[in-house]
Structure 1
Amino acid sequence: MAVIILLAGFALSRSAGVSAADTAAPVLQVTPAEPVTSYREPVVVRGNAADAVRVSIGSEAVTPGADGAFELSVPWAPAFEVVAADEAGNKSSSTVIAARTLPRMRAVHVTAHAWSHDGLREAVLDLARQGRIDTVQLDIKDEDGVIGYDSQVPLAGESGARTSIYDAPTALRQLHDMGLQVVGRIVAFRDPALATWAWQHGRPDWVVQNPSGQPYSSHYGPIAFTNFAHPEVRQYNIDLAVEAAELGFDGVMYDYVRRPDGSLSSMHFSGLTDTPTAAVAGFLAQSKHPVNTAGAHQSAAVYGIASTRPDEIAQDISLIARSVDFVAPMIYPSHWNSGEYGVADPNAQPYDIVFRSLQDFKAHTAGTGAKVIPWLQDFSLGVSYGDAEIQAQIDATRDAGIDSFFLWNAATRYHGGGIHPA
């Protein structure tokens, strides 16, 4: 009997010991992830999980080394939950935020028709061969609502917006083979093609209207702006952006991501439940994760005046910056009024107006994680612009602490001498 009691006592002690050990979760330490330069790059997560037999992120798992060290490579996501488990099933977890850095972008704007034109395309490629640019901004959907390639988004075909002006996979392959990045531009809510189709097919709520229920007319044409508050209009633009990312565009930039200019009282946005300013920022927030997950960075071209007058066209820079990888302010010197930012004649003082306005945009985006990459002017409007004026704007951008820029010329003709080889 005594032996039995002792054995029972010994068994109970062993059981208590095992139970105590089994409740101790592994000690998990995760090293901050190294930044990636593309959403297509895997994120490498490293750390140490003492006593764990398995470390996992979603369906990806590894067995730690004898010293507890582990390394996991997973597709990009904004954040990950790292879980360490021991033999008894006890678990520890830690959240890792994925860090990302944008590559430098020295870019020029190229329309779909310009890309299909041998001479204009070769002139742009020559800029790249000379080391003056490293990025091409190629139009996806333009100001007419025309999509430059054979998009497979159903509404693109149904509305008659898709064309075959250029072959997107071929263009992307050629540019990538040259080591260039490609940013696709989608003119979002100025979309005469979709607006006209919607109006003619019994979808008036897809169109910005005037108080009498007719299409809002402006200097852009009698029926030009779609309704940014409508879910299907928003989804159409997001579908185009995701398709572009999946095709291989490195980034997607939304332009005309705003309301029409003019008196707000003269416009009606069917279904709008918030301010236009909040709705525009909300669209970008809705779009960012799908676009990033498809492999592209997201940006928004914004008016220069938006930094000081956010409600004038519904572009609040601080709100927008939270849902983009970078803000692209169009700070063309010819578009500023005399005296703005203390510059007497902005068009004749390109360095001064670019440098000072960029300080304001940097202040509005501080703490959001978004960079500022400006659109600069390579066209003449009131003042003749050539190499010196282009270089002055690029110098001002550099002196403002920004190493990237986009040059705009609607005809895709650029003053290469104003862009010094990098």
Structure 2
Amino acid sequence: MLERRPETRVRRLAAIAVAVVGSILAVAALVTAFRPEAERFTVTGLPTGVVGAAAASELALRVDVSGHDPNAIRLELDGAQVQGVVEGDDVVYRPGVLPDGTHEFSAEIPAGGPLGFLRSEPGATESFTVDSTPPTVQLDPTQPVRSYREPVTLRGKAIGAQLVSVGAVSAPAAADGAFEITLPRAPAGVELVAADAAGNTTRTPVPAIVELPRIRAVHVTAHAWSHEWLREGVLDLARAGHIDTVQLDIKDEDGVIGYDSQVPLARESGAATSIYDARAALARLHEMGLRVIGRIVAFRDPTLAEWAWHAGRTDWVVQSPGGRPYSSKYGPIAFTNFAHPEVRKYNIDLASEAAALGFDEIMYDYIRRPDGSLSSMVFPGATVDPIVSIAEFLRESRDPVHDAGAFQSAAVFGIAASRPDQIAQDIPMMAAHLDYVAPMVYPSHWNSGEYGVAHPNGQPYDIVLRSLEDFRRITQGTGAKVVPWLQDFSLGVTYGHAEVRAQIDATAAAGIDSFVLWSPVVRYHL
């Protein structure tokens, strides 16, 4: 037998190798031809776009595994196996807090067994990006304005923000974060909200922009304004430079509206009158450079209370536990129910109307519950404590009054600084919704020994100074100023120029440059 040459063996081995490779390729082609196309799982729960901090913490990635063994599903996040829970036909994975950046989530049933390569198991892979960093906001200082009738433009930078907004007004932020947003009036108690594409937000309180002008005012009733001699006496005070503001009654202690209000309930109840012409009065006072405070006696309102009671709207009236109108020193049926939405709306409608007419300020008086034990009175429909309800009324009223262009204030008892429960006047709670608080610190209304003053009525400087220092202390941080009511009437002690001046000096010593004088006969010692 002839010996084979080495090159023959090489050629033979090469031929065998080619045959083997060909067989493998043929088998692979056969497998490819007959293997079904891979089924894809459906993954839900991923928000569109970048996921912000709030959405990321609430993510629930749901894999629909209908028709498969949920326990065979392998989940991975960023290449590491994670554990889901079975909820019906879904396997759910809640990642919780995730670092910023792009993440990859996958779900599959691993192929198994010697013929696993012949099978194509279902799976899914999804990517998403987390951005939990909120914008950085810098609000530029804004020049104060002196009226809610003036528009205000806010400027600054909101780095990383897409949009900035204040209430319903919004504006885009530039690439460098610069923004400019113009509001129809100066805001009060609001925040500027800067939002990025991921929904992350930064809230920045907008500081007080309206600067309350100095107030040196006297109280004038509707009838006094209609009386030429009394009216001219008040205007003479202005001509002499003693006052810069007039407080003119809108609705008085009898519930009578001094001018022909167009508020429907004012007309239906008979409260609207023609004692004076509001437009003419405002025009004359404004021509003299005077500001006008419109006083609304809110919840002491015999006119509305009697009309409502006899019209079958008894829940509009404060009642006794026996279901009768609450009787007090103010009369057998004097107080309306501050908790009733229609009663609140009536007063707010009057305030808004007056502000739109041109009153520069709205001051609510008798914004309280009646005097007396709380157990002796019922407020139908009330769901919160009277203290909270009174403050909530002021919150409801603030925007309508500001939108109509006026400041909002409230006359309060002097004792409310230390005894808020006595008539439901929590000063800090109320002040949060006011431009200023107007405490009635009349010396004649204090008991002996209050604030360490032995005889308050005979020591007007001492009692006014100490009580106003207390009011300034408890209103700090509320944004509201303090403008006191001072006494220009005699009750137990005769009051004249010296006593009025002592109170004004005490007000100044307390760091307050404003005041309102009360005289029931509208004659003043200035």
Find out whether 1:343 has 2:445 as its counterpart: no
1:312 & 1:367 partners in 2: Cα distance?
24
Q: Tell me how far 1:251 sits from its aligned partner.
A: 0.7
1:234 & 1:411 partners in 2: Cα distance?
30
1:266 & 1:84 partners in 2: Cα distance?
51
Go from structure 1 to structure 2 and tell me whether the alpha carbon gap of 1:52 and 1:173 turns closer, same or farther (over 3 Å shift).
Answer: same
Q: Tell me how far 1:46 sits from its aligned partner.
A: 3.0
Contact 1:376–1:405 (Cα < 8 Å) also in 2:
yes
Go from structure 1 to structure 2 and tell me whether the alpha carbon gap of 1:249 and 1:350 turns closer, same or farther (over 3 Å shift).
Answer: same
- CA deviation vs aligned residue, 1:237-259 (integer Å, no higher than 9, x gap): 01111111111111100000001
1:208 & 1:26 partners in 2: Cα distance?
50
* SS at 1:318 equivalent: helix
- Give, as a single letter, the amino acid of the residue that structure 2 aligns with 1:32: P
1:386 & 1:336 partners in 2: Cα distance?
19
1:121 & 1:330 partners in 2: Cα distance?
24
* SS at 2:422 equivalent: coil
Equivalent in the alignment of 2:183: 74
Structure 2 counterpart of 1:262, from 372, 389, 392: 372
Go from structure 1 to structure 2 and tell me whether the alpha carbon gap of 1:129 and 1:318 turns closer, same or farther (over 3 Å shift).
Answer: same
2:364 & 2:284 partners in 1: Cα distance?
23
1:199 & 1:332 partners in 2: Cα distance?
34
Equivalent in the alignment of 1:36: 145
Identity of aligned residues (%): 68
Go from structure 1 to structure 2 and tell me whether the alpha carbon gap of 1:279 and 1:70 turns closer, same or farther (over 3 Å shift).
Answer: closer
* SS at 2:293 equivalent: strand
Equivalent in the alignment of 1:143: 253
- CA deviation vs aligned residue, 1:205-248 (integer Å, no higher than 9, x gap): 00111111111111101110000111100110011111111111
Go from structure 1 to structure 2 and tell me whether the alpha carbon gap of 1:124 and 1:62 turns closer, same or farther (over 3 Å shift).
Answer: farther
1:281 & 1:56 partners in 2: Cα distance?
27
Q: Which moved more, 1:32-41 or 1:258-267?
A: 32-41
Q: Tell me how far 1:59 sits from its aligned partner.
A: 6.5
Find out whether 1:159 has 2:273 as its counterpart: no
1:267 & 1:53 partners in 2: Cα distance?
53
Q: Tell me how far 1:69 sits from its aligned partner.
A: 7.5
Q: Tell me how far 1:45 sits from its aligned partner.
A: 2.1
The residue correspondences of 1:161-176 to structure 2 (distance < 5 A) are: 161-176=271-286
- CA deviation vs aligned residue, 1:282-307 (integer Å, no higher than 9, x gap): 11111112111211111110111111
The residue correspondences of 1:139-218 to structure 2 (distance < 5 A) are: 139-218=249-328
Contact 1:303–1:331 (Cα < 8 Å) also in 2:
yes
What TM-score do you get using the length of structure 1 for normalisation? 0.85
* SS at 2:275 equivalent: coil
* SS at 1:186 equivalent: strand
Find out whether 1:361 has 2:471 as its counterpart: yes
Contact 2:318–2:337 (Cα < 8 Å) also in 1:
yes
Contact 1:188–1:254 (Cα < 8 Å) also in 2:
yes
- Give, as a single letter, the amino acid of the residue that structure 1 aligns with 2:365: D
2:259 & 2:241 partners in 1: Cα distance?
28
- CA deviation vs aligned residue, 1:83-108 (integer Å, no higher than 9, x gap): 799xx9x9998856152221110000
- Give, as a single letter, the amino acid of the residue that structure 2 aligns with 1:209: Q
Go from structure 1 to structure 2 and tell me whether the alpha carbon gap of 1:344 and 1:154 turns closer, same or farther (over 3 Å shift).
Answer: same
- Give, as a single letter, the amino acid of the residue that structure 2 aligns with 1:108: V
Q: Tell me how far 1:68 sits from its aligned partner.
A: 9.4
1:245 & 1:343 partners in 2: Cα distance?
40
Go from structure 1 to structure 2 and tell me whether the alpha carbon gap of 1:199 and 1:31 turns closer, same or farther (over 3 Å shift).
Answer: same
1:376 & 1:107 partners in 2: Cα distance?
10
Equivalent in the alignment of 1:244: 354
Go from structure 1 to structure 2 and tell me whether the alpha carbon gap of 1:229 and 1:72 turns closer, same or farther (over 3 Å shift).
Answer: closer
Q: Which has the higher contact order (CA 8 A, sep 6+)?
A: 1
The residue correspondences of 1:249-328 to structure 2 (distance < 5 A) are: 249-328=359-438
1:53 & 1:140 partners in 2: Cα distance?
46
Equivalent in the alignment of 2:228: 118
Go from structure 1 to structure 2 and tell me whether the alpha carbon gap of 1:26 and 1:115 turns closer, same or farther (over 3 Å shift).
Answer: same
Go from structure 1 to structure 2 and tell me whether the alpha carbon gap of 1:94 and 1:366 turns closer, same or farther (over 3 Å shift).
Answer: closer
- CA deviation vs aligned residue, 1:102-154 (integer Å, no higher than 9, x gap): 11100000000111111111111111111110111000000000000111110
Q: Which runs of 5 or more residues in structure 1 are unaligned?
A: 1-24, 417-422
* SS at 1:314 equivalent: coil
Go from structure 1 to structure 2 and tell me whether the alpha carbon gap of 1:213 and 1:102 turns closer, same or farther (over 3 Å shift).
Answer: same
Equivalent in the alignment of 1:10: none
Equivalent in the alignment of 2:103: none
Contact 1:37–1:103 (Cα < 8 Å) also in 2:
yes
Find out whether 1:133 has 2:243 as its counterpart: yes
Q: Tell me how far 1:35 sits from its aligned partner.
A: 2.3
2:507 & 2:268 partners in 1: Cα distance?
43
* SS at 2:416 equivalent: helix
- CA deviation vs aligned residue, 1:338-369 (integer Å, no higher than 9, x gap): 11111111111100000011111111111111
2:243 & 2:350 partners in 1: Cα distance?
26
Q: Which runs of 5 or more residues in structure 2 are unaligned?
A: 1-133
Equivalent in the alignment of 2:524: 414
- Give, as a single letter, the amino acid of the residue that structure 2 aligns with 1:398: A
Equivalent in the alignment of 1:19: none
Contact 1:333–1:350 (Cα < 8 Å) also in 2:
yes
